[in-house]
Structure 1
Amino acid sequence: MDQQTQTEIEAATFRRLLNHLDNHKEVQNIDLMILADFCRNCLAKWYMAEAKARGEEVDYDQARERVYGEPYDSWKDKYQKPATPEQLAAFDARQQAKASQ
């Protein structure tokens, strides 16, 4: 596979991931962090870092808007629920497990 085709496939895969996350707003960021050790905000940070590595300036709000499909505060108000005590406990356990590795 040539580099251009690989890049196009990777870009399409990223767009598909964003679309999948957009179609599953019920999946909270804390759930993603517990299960996969990344969330939508992580994707935004990675997007921002990759832009910077290529000489492009994308700030965190712009990157989050790309990932969330709308301004973060708007998305948060509509879809983000407060973390439950169980979610917070699972997240803390995950963080402690990572720290002890």
Structure 2
Amino acid sequence: MTQIGHEWDTDLDILNLLSTIVLFDPNRPNIIHKDMIAFEHQINKYLLQRYLEIKYGTKSEARDKYMRLMKTLDELHVLNEENVRYHLEVDPREIGPLLIELFDLKP
């Protein structure tokens, strides 16, 4: 979150759009309607781009900010994958019930 910066941490529009971009990720497992999720994902990315253009007034500055946000989301995705991989290797008896449910582990 420090990479996203204080510039955006109080902008609920950006934070909400980032949340929907993450939630509507067509690469998530067990997605039934992948095409629809991919469509929603693209719409939310486009809305973020347009919002940044309006907020910053120039396409070049908006594009730079957008690319920085997307890079940060990619880095968070990698961090999340490493976190999941770590928890899958841990003995379920050593972690709490919430993590057992979250990672679909057998207790």
TM, length-normalised to structure 2: 0.33
Q: Which has the larger radius of gyration?
A: 2
Higher relative contact order (CA 8 A, sep 6+): 1
TM-score normalised by structure 1 residue count: 0.34
Greater percentage in helix = 1
